A and B are shown apart, each in its own frame.
Chain A
Amino acid sequence: MSSLWYFKMAWRDGRSHLRRFFLFAASITIGIAALVSIKSFCDAIQDSIENQAKTLLRADLFLEASFPFDDSYNATFDTLSYEKAEQVRFSSMVLAPKSGLSRLVQVRAIEGDFPFYGELILSNPGKRLKDLKGNQVFIDENLAQLLSITIGDTLKVGSVSFEIAALVEKIPGEAAVAAFVGPRVFIPLERIEETKLVQKGSRVTYEKFYKLDNAEQIATNLKEKAATDRVRIQTVEGRKRSLGRALDNLYSFLNLVGFIALLMGAVGVGSSVQVYARQKKTTIAILRCLGVSSTQALSIFIIQISFMGLIGALVGTLIGVSIVPLFPLLFSDFIPVTIESSISFWALGKGFGIGLLLTLLFALLPLIQARRTSPLATLRITDEMPSIWNDLLHWITVSAIVSTLFVFTFFQTNSWLSALIFCFGLAISFSILAFTAKCLMILTRKFFPSNASFTTRQGLANLYRPNNQTLLLLVSIGLGAFLIMTLLLTQQQLLNQLDITAQQSDTNMVLFDVQTDQKETAIELLEKNGMPLRAATPIVTMTLSEINGGTVQSIMEDTTRDIRRWALRREYRSSYRNHLATSETLTKGEFIGESDFASQPIPITVEEFIVRDLSISIGDTLVWDVQGIPIQTYITGIRKVDWQRVEPNFYVIFPSGILENAPQFWVLLTQFTSKEQSISVKKDLVSSIPNVSVIDLNVILDTVDTILQKISLAIQFMAFFSMLTGIIVLISSILSSRFQRVKESVLLRTLGASKKQIERILLSEFLFIGILATATGLILSVLATWSLIEFVFQSSFTFDFTLILSGFVGTAFLTVGIGWLNSRGLSDEPPLQVLRNEE
């Protein structure tokens, strides 16, 4: 027979199922659209990073330190031709005298024509940072809103009153969300001394930006010296790499969501094709009787499915292309480059190809099984499908599916191990969802009241009809409900937790950077505003010099040691006292509260996380550089700290009698009871001791809420892909089994059931699917949220009944609505006509 015959047969056999094929195809469109759009978006970010690489760093070379640079760094550049900008940044309170409002901000004292690359967008075009002179200040536009001030108004930064000369709309190389975390205030570098904000113990970052040639070479030359001096060097290439690494998680998350949507769609297609293949058994048996081989029969259906896959992949790609512009709107606040949205043909091809391949493979499985239908089925009708266990082609297809998933994941992660973990994790996740759904089905059937009405019992029984897709529906709708509910529950839990902490704690305001000679003034101002001093904790800054006799430098050079570099290089803010705080428990060793400077080494206790990161244990000796003075210590105890508490906690606690005379500053804890009290005390503090930073828990709550809302919108958009796929699979599944439903309805009507009864049966069936699917998703989302809250956020989980109930009712109603819409008219037509028309 000619190859044309296969196409002719595929068309003849398929033309009456076109609507059905389009539905199959629809199942994969959303997944392919997700994949194409996500891949295009990720490619666009990468292209933007590549194109705007210099904008990211805003210079060719960047140096950063937590202390002023010495002259040796300037000497390095003496013989070179370059442009330089300097920036000193630190956190501080600012006060808007006009509104009386104050806020903790990030002050940036700047000098030079910064940025060298990219454009800092100001409200009045034409102005640049180099124009910032005298008593002018540029502030973030959202800070202007928060403090109810605008251009021309005064802003008090430390001891200096500045005039707002421009509002900052966008800073190149920084994500927009940064403005919400720490609003930025630019002042001229020359005025920094006058502000009196930089004092001993203040946490200040010094930055130098250079515009020059051969930046990479200079960075290489400086590398060793910088490491010794604890200076961070970054070049354009380095910034690109570090941003690329940081964005890898975002790419993985997005691709994962897209891939799950595609996989669900492909499983949906497989499941629908299984129903189709069962209905095609007779045709296959007849064709085989007439002399067609099993492979030839299979070819006819492969042509049909390929056509369907092609249509689905094309439509999916088109949808994907059309939603690409939405991504920058959702994610631009978190990405420090301007995303140049463009269509990536590589992304289109990849999404199209992988979507089509997975669809064909999943659809092939049931067809391969059906191809072996014996021609004897023409003589004896049987509902059984041929066995697959000894079918080599079946196992080749299964292997091809697994390999495709694995290879695809490998290309996403570039790591065999990650790909393996992802595939394994995916299998486990689907198994848990399927297991939960199966358990719910079994329990419902077992414990369902036998005296329930006929229509309800019949609706439940429909879930177990032959060739049912109940499990797939429960898993796909459940997965959508799971993703969305986990997100909403986690967000709600975090906000509740902050709210509860703010309400229940006897502390809701923290004063940082209080110098020893400012302590009394601060306490007086608190008392003046009727606020109690809950605690005053001293802080001494120090760095680590040696561990067990080895210098930090030598440990860092030893690549065989598993020690976190940041833990070696960081500036430690330690405290001293003769007792454990209420937020601490001693998990190992002992806490020695008193000692004296002469009896070195000094007994100290350390927090458990830093024990892990420094690979240290009880008895180990550590040498600290306390602002130039070495102090030898040894570890006597390990503490577990509850970091959720609103009080300063420390990695290292010294005993009393050692650090009392070291340069130090204080953290004061207090509590306000009204908003007016909070505004008043902040105003007093900024006016009298402007270097003191005030953290108000209510402000944190607002900030977290704003950021979570931005993040959740993006994640909800992504979860929508899997939810939408679930809905399409539901529609496809309902229409695939429509003939079965029609036969059941006709039989019941023949036996005397009323139209109303049939409608009730259908309604019960969809209600059961909706309830069970939602329950599957919700049970797992509650478990996932609990795990996230307990283990990742280390907080305590509270059951938000209202939110869970709303999610439950919403998803269940959505399922019932969709089921009902797609089954309408089923009971309207006369039984005979229905039987003749339906196929």
Chain B
Amino acid sequence: MLKVTNVIQTYKSGNKSLTVLDSINFSIEKGSITAIVGPSGSGKTTLLGLCAGLDRASSGEIELAGTPMSNLSEDQRAKLRSEHVGFVFQSFQLIPTLTALENVLVPIEIKGIKNGGNQAKALLERVGLGDRTHHYPTQLSGGEQQRVAIARAFINQPKILFADEPTGNLDNATGNSIEDLIFSLNKDIGTTLVLVTHDLDLAKRANRIIRLHAGKIVEDTINV
């Protein structure tokens, strides 16, 4: 589903260049759950951004859903995302001017699918927000906003879901319910899940843990 080959990411700051990711290689099977862990500044978020096609690697190749991305334009990568990818962010990233229902509808509307209202409502029902469909993000709590974000991520039935610290901004109890929600939806739909997290308890629920340190993979373990 995802194949990362010899990826290097460097950023230039004045005359100096900083290598954030160094020779990263791994591949992820369809339907699996992978957690990418590591201390702050280890390159987790950068790696997630590259894998999801949000940025272009300095060198190396990333193949998403069978499509190599190094030669794709930004718009081609956007199309790929709209077809195969879902996101859940640490800071929810809902569009503040849209209601919960409208936020959930955006991905399918982008694809030109009409009459998705019932599907979106069902998903909101599933995440426990059936009675909040017409609320704006500012009228929802953090946990509720993340539920909307999850509903939005799954409405497209993505082949792969990237989640960046999905519980990072939430308290333990709410975080746990969000985790349960993501895993249960993942199981229902069969999506490949890639999690970036600090939370070792969350990471332990994954099939596989890739540990990063200073831009390199220092450990790649399979959870039994």
* Chain A contacts to B: CB under 8 angstroms: 1-2, 5, 8-9, 12-17, 282-283, 285-296, 374-376, 378-381, 836-837, 839
Establish whether residues B79 and A12, one from each chain, have CB atoms under 8 Å apart when the complex forms.
no
Which residues of the other chain, B, contact A286 by a CB distance below 8 angstroms? 93-95
- In-complex Cβ contact of B110 among A283, A291, A375, A837 (8 A): A291
B69 to chain A, nearest CB (A): 13
Smallest CB-CB A-B distances: 9 pairs: A291-B82, A293-B75, A375-B54, A1-B112, A291-B81, A13-B97, A293-B78, A376-B54, A378-B93
Question: 26 A-B contacts, Cβ less than 8 Å apart?
Answer: A1-B111, A5-B109, A5-B110, A13-B97, A14-B97, A16-B97, A285-B93, A286-B94, A287-B106, A287-B110, A288-B78, A289-B52, A289-B81, A289-B93, A290-B106, A291-B83, A291-B111, A375-B81, A376-B49, A376-B54, A378-B54, A378-B89, A379-B48, A836-B138, A836-B139, A837-B138
Establish whether residues B107 and A290, one from each chain, have CB atoms under 8 Å apart when the complex forms.
yes
Which residues of the other chain, B, contact A16 by a CB distance below 8 angstroms? 97, 136
- In-complex Cβ contact of B75 among A15, A290, A294, A837 (8 A): A294
Q: How large is the interface on B (under 10, 10 to 19, 20 to 34, 35 or more residues)?
A: 35 or more
Establish whether residues B95 and A376, one from each chain, have CB atoms under 8 Å apart when the complex forms.
no
A240 to chain B, nearest CB (A): 58
Which residues of the other chain, B, contact A289 by a CB distance below 8 angstroms? 52, 54, 81, 87, 93
In the complex, A288 Cα to B89 Cα: how many Å? 14
- In-complex Cβ contact of B74 among A2, A8, A293, A380 (8 A): A293
Asked whether B169 is an interface residue with its Cβ less than 8 Å from the other chain, the reply is no
In the complex, A733 Cα to B140 Cα: how many Å? 30
In the complex, A299 Cα to B87 Cα: how many Å? 23
Interface residues of B in 99-128 (CB under 8 A from A): 102, 106-107, 109-112, 114
In the complex, A290 Cα to B106 Cα: how many Å? 8
Establish whether residues A293 and B95, one from each chain, have CB atoms under 8 Å apart when the complex forms.
no
Establish whether residues A379 and B106, one from each chain, have CB atoms under 8 Å apart when the complex forms.
no
Which residues of the other chain, A, contact B107 by a CB distance below 8 angstroms? 290-291
Which residues of the other chain, A, contact B81 by a CB distance below 8 angstroms? 289-291, 375
In the complex, A8 Cα to B107 Cα: how many Å? 14
Interface residues of B in 66-90 (CB under 8 A from A): 74-75, 78-83, 85, 87, 89
- In-complex Cβ contact of A282 among B54, B93, B112 (8 A): B93
Establish whether residues B74 and A294, one from each chain, have CB atoms under 8 Å apart when the complex forms.
yes
Residue of chain A at shortest CB distance from B152:
A290
Interface residues of B in 46-61 (CB under 8 A from A): 48-49, 52, 54-55
A16 to chain B, nearest CB (A): 5
Asked whether B98 is an interface residue with its Cβ less than 8 Å from the other chain, the reply is yes
A25 to chain B, nearest CB (A): 19
A627 to chain B, nearest CB (A): 87
Which residues of the other chain, B, contact A837 by a CB distance below 8 angstroms? 138
Residue of chain B at shortest CB distance from A839:
B96
Establish whether residues A295 and B75, one from each chain, have CB atoms under 8 Å apart when the complex forms.
yes
Asked whether B164 is an interface residue with its Cβ less than 8 Å from the other chain, the reply is yes
B41 to chain A, nearest CB (A): 12
In the complex, A429 Cα to B166 Cα: how many Å? 54
In the complex, A227 Cα to B49 Cα: how many Å? 86
- Given the known interface contacts A289-B54, A290-B81, A839-B96, the answer about A379 and B49 at a Cβ–Cβ threshold of 8 Å is yes
Asked whether B25 is an interface residue with its Cβ less than 8 Å from the other chain, the reply is no
In the complex, A375 Cα to B85 Cα: how many Å? 13
- Given the known interface contacts A1-B109, A5-B112, A290-B107, the answer about A12 and B93 at a Cβ–Cβ threshold of 8 Å is no
Establish whether residues A17 and B89, one from each chain, have CB atoms under 8 Å apart when the complex forms.
no
Residue of chain A at shortest CB distance from B75:
A293
Establish whether residues A283 and B54, one from each chain, have CB atoms under 8 Å apart when the complex forms.
no
Which residues of the other chain, A, contact B87 by a CB distance below 8 angstroms? 289-290, 378
Which residues of the other chain, A, contact B79 by a CB distance below 8 angstroms? 291, 293
A277 to chain B, nearest CB (A): 14
**Main DSSP-derived SS at the A contact region:** helix
Which residues of the other chain, A, contact B78 by a CB distance below 8 angstroms? 288, 291-294, 375
Establish whether residues B49 and A839, one from each chain, have CB atoms under 8 Å apart when the complex forms.
no
- Given the known interface contacts A289-B87, A291-B81, the answer about A839 and B97 at a Cβ–Cβ threshold of 8 Å is yes
A293 to chain B, nearest CB (A): 4
- In-complex Cβ contact of A8 among B75, B85, B109 (8 A): B109
Asked whether B45 is an interface residue with its Cβ less than 8 Å from the other chain, the reply is yes
Known: A283-B97, A379-B49, A379-B164. 18 other contacts (CB 8 A): A1-B112, A2-B112, A2-B114, A287-B106, A290-B107, A291-B78, A291-B82, A291-B85, A291-B107, A292-B82, A294-B74, A294-B78, A374-B55, A376-B54, A376-B55, A378-B89, A837-B138, A839-B97
In the complex, A376 Cα to B55 Cα: how many Å? 7
In the complex, A5 Cα to B105 Cα: how many Å? 11
In the complex, A379 Cα to B80 Cα: how many Å? 19
In the complex, A13 Cα to B106 Cα: how many Å? 12
Which residues of the other chain, A, contact B164 by a CB distance below 8 angstroms? 379
- In-complex Cβ contact of A292 among B48, B93, B110 (8 A): B110
A11 to chain B, nearest CB (A): 10
Which residues of the other chain, A, contact B82 by a CB distance below 8 angstroms? 290-292
In the complex, A374 Cα to B54 Cα: how many Å? 7
In the complex, A116 Cα to B67 Cα: how many Å? 89
A291 to chain B, nearest CB (A): 2
Establish whether residues A290 and B48, one from each chain, have CB atoms under 8 Å apart when the complex forms.
no
A430 to chain B, nearest CB (A): 34
Residue of chain B at shortest CB distance from A381:
B91
Which residues of the other chain, B, contact A1 by a CB distance below 8 angstroms? 109-112
B115 to chain A, nearest CB (A): 12
In the complex, A283 Cα to B102 Cα: how many Å? 13
Establish whether residues B110 and A379, one from each chain, have CB atoms under 8 Å apart when the complex forms.
no
In the complex, A837 Cα to B139 Cα: how many Å? 9
Which residues of the other chain, B, contact A294 by a CB distance below 8 angstroms? 74-75, 78
Which residues of the other chain, A, contact B152 by a CB distance below 8 angstroms? 290
Establish whether residues B106 and A15, one from each chain, have CB atoms under 8 Å apart when the complex forms.
no
Establish whether residues B45 and A380, one from each chain, have CB atoms under 8 Å apart when the complex forms.
yes
* A2, A283, A286, A295: residue with the most chain B Cβ atoms closer than 10 Å: A286
Residue of chain A at shortest CB distance from B80:
A291
Residue of chain A at shortest CB distance from B79:
A291
Residue of chain B at shortest CB distance from A295:
B75
Establish whether residues B89 and A379, one from each chain, have CB atoms under 8 Å apart when the complex forms.
yes
A10 to chain B, nearest CB (A): 11
In the complex, A718 Cα to B150 Cα: how many Å? 58
In the complex, A836 Cα to B87 Cα: how many Å? 25
A281 to chain B, nearest CB (A): 12
* A285, A286, A379, A839: residue with the most chain B Cβ atoms closer than 10 Å: A379
In the complex, A282 Cα to B91 Cα: how many Å? 11
Which residues of the other chain, A, contact B96 by a CB distance below 8 angstroms? 282-283, 839
Which residues of the other chain, B, contact A375 by a CB distance below 8 angstroms? 54, 78, 81
Which residues of the other chain, B, contact A836 by a CB distance below 8 angstroms? 138-139
A123 to chain B, nearest CB (A): 68
Which residues of the other chain, A, contact B95 by a CB distance below 8 angstroms? 13, 283, 286-287
B72 to chain A, nearest CB (A): 12
In the complex, A836 Cα to B45 Cα: how many Å? 29
Which residues of the other chain, B, contact A13 by a CB distance below 8 angstroms? 95, 97-98
In the complex, A287 Cα to B52 Cα: how many Å? 14
B56 to chain A, nearest CB (A): 10
In the complex, A8 Cα to B101 Cα: how many Å? 14
- In-complex Cβ contact of B98 among A12, A379, A380 (8 A): A12
Which residues of the other chain, A, contact B52 by a CB distance below 8 angstroms? 289
Residue of chain B at shortest CB distance from A1:
B112
A282 to chain B, nearest CB (A): 7
In the complex, A712 Cα to B48 Cα: how many Å? 67
In the complex, A14 Cα to B111 Cα: how many Å? 21
In the complex, A12 Cα to B97 Cα: how many Å? 7
B114 to chain A, nearest CB (A): 8
A793 to chain B, nearest CB (A): 57
A393 to chain B, nearest CB (A): 14
In the complex, A8 Cα to B78 Cα: how many Å? 20
Interface residues of B in 21-52 (CB under 8 A from A): 45, 48-49, 52
In the complex, A378 Cα to B95 Cα: how many Å? 11
- In-complex Cβ contact of B97 among A15, A292, A296, A380 (8 A): A15
Which residues of the other chain, A, contact B54 by a CB distance below 8 angstroms? 289, 374-376, 378-379
